[in-house]
């Protein structure tokens, strides 16, 4: 069965080819080498004992089957997210399915000093350079797209470019591959995006925060990975109210990523503050 991620992968290679006609990877690398360091994504998120979960709030105009906002007012969104007390921002740059762009990432960088996650379907190191050039501190890497060796190579590519790889699993069978690569940042997507069919529509809304709870409980290898110094663990998707956060706050997750719920909240500041539940 062709999945949503398979379909997107084909689109991304087409996009990359078009971008490379305008600027080569070598030229991008040369530009990136001149950039100053960016704020550490993981250091902003690592949670001291007794503290609430760190929050990554996402800039996302839409998702398959869902419109969050008709107009992406970045001034308002960034201002409200910061006032809500978040530790980092995630910026969708996929245009077809999420209404984002690389220009959105660059504009958000101009409006905040918080660390930024380049949220994209990254299939090639060229995209890592594109995000770094626009101020990203970290880049999302989906385990679905890579073998274990390829995943290790992508993590190293990111490190060399000065960004941290946020390695995402959305199916339990992906987790061993991710842990073997021993990333510094691991994101568990409570929505099984890797199993969603090519035309997702309403099925894209599947998922539950219980996924993060169960994986922690059922996977000794995940607990061993987290026991290492400096490892950052994130739970993402399907988190939309304090009761969801309460399920995670007593586990050693460092952060939660909030997307649609933060974008659609009638009062973003109050909503984000309501999620700052203490253990």
What pLDDT is recorded for position 109?
97
Closest CA to 158 of 124, 134, 188, 187: 124
Q: Report angle CA 55, 189, 15 to the nearest 5 degrees.
A: 100
Report the pLDDT value the prediction gives residue 197, as an integer from 0 to 100. Answer: 80
266-121-165 Cα angle (round to 5): 95
CB 232 within 8 A of CB 186: yes
Three-state DSSP class for residue 186: strand
pLDDT value of position 65: 65
Collect all residues with Cβ–Cβ distance below 8 Å to 123 and sequence separation of at least 6.
Answer: 9, 12, 13, 16, 145
pLDDT of residue 164: 98
Assigned token pair, 30 = 């040369």
Fold of domain 4-274 = TIM Barrel (3.20.20)
Tell the residue number behind the tokens 């992906």, with chain if given: 174
The pLDDT tens digits along the chain (279 residues) read: 789 999 999 999 999 999 999 999 999 999 999 999 999 999 999 999 999 999 999 999 877 767 677 778 999 999 999 999 999 999 999 998 888 999 999 999 999 999 999 999 999 999 999 999 999 999 999 999 999 999 999 999 999 999 999 999 999 999 999 999 999 999 999 999 988 887 765 555 578 999 999 999 999 999 999 999 999 999 999 999 999 999 999 999 999 999 999 999 999 999 999 999 999
Question: Does residue 59 contact residue 89 with C-beta atoms inside 8 Å?
Answer: yes
| φ, ψ (nearest 5 deg) of residue 197 | -65, 170
Q: Within its chain, how far is the Cα of 167 from the centroid?
A: 8
* Strands (DSSP E) found in 116-205: 116-119, 138-142, 164-169, 185-189
User: What gap in Å lies between CA 131 and CA 135, rounded to an integer?
Assistant: 7
Q: On the CB side of 268, how many CA atoms lie within 13 Å of its CA?
A: 24
pLDDT reported for residue 11? 94
CB-count exposure of residue 17 (10 Å: 0-12, 13-18, 19+): exposed
How many Cα atoms sit within 13 Å of 156 on the Cβ side?
7
């Amino acid at each position: 069965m062709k999945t949503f991620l398979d379909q997107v992968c084909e689109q991304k290679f087409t996009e990359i080819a078009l971008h490379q006609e305008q600027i080569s990877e070598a030229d991008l690398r040369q530009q990136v080498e001149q950039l100053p360091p960016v704020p550490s994504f993981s250091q902003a998120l690592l949670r001291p004992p007794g503290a609430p979960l760190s929050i990554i709030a996402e800039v996302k105009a839409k998702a398959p089957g869902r419109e969050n906002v008709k107009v992406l007012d970045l001034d308002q969104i960034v201002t409200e997210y910061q006032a809500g007390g978040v530790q980092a921002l995630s910026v969708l740059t996929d245009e077809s399915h999420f209404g984002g762009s690389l220009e959105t990432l660059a504009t958000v960088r101009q409006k905040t000093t918080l660390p930024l996650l380049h949220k994209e379907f990254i299939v090639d190191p060229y995209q890592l350079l594109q995000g770094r050039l626009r101020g990203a501190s970290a880049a999302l890497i989906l385990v679905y797209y890579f073998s274990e060796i390829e995943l290790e190579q992508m993590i190293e590519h990111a490190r060399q470019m000065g960004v941290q790889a946020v390695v995402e699993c959305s199916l339990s069978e992906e987790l061993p591959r991710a842990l073997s690569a021993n990333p510094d940042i691991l994101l568990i997507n409570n929505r099984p995006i890797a199993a969603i069919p090519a035309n997702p529509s309403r099925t894209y809304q599947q998922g539950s925060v219980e996924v993060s709870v169960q994986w922690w409980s059922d996977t000794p290898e995940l607990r061993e990975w987290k026991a290492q110094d400096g490892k950052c663990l994130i739970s993402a998707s399907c988190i939309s109210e304090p009761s969801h956060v309460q399920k995670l706050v007593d586990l050693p997750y460092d952060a939660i990523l909030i997307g649609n719920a933060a974008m659609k909240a009638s009062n973003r500041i109050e909503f984000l503050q309501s999620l700052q539940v203490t253990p």
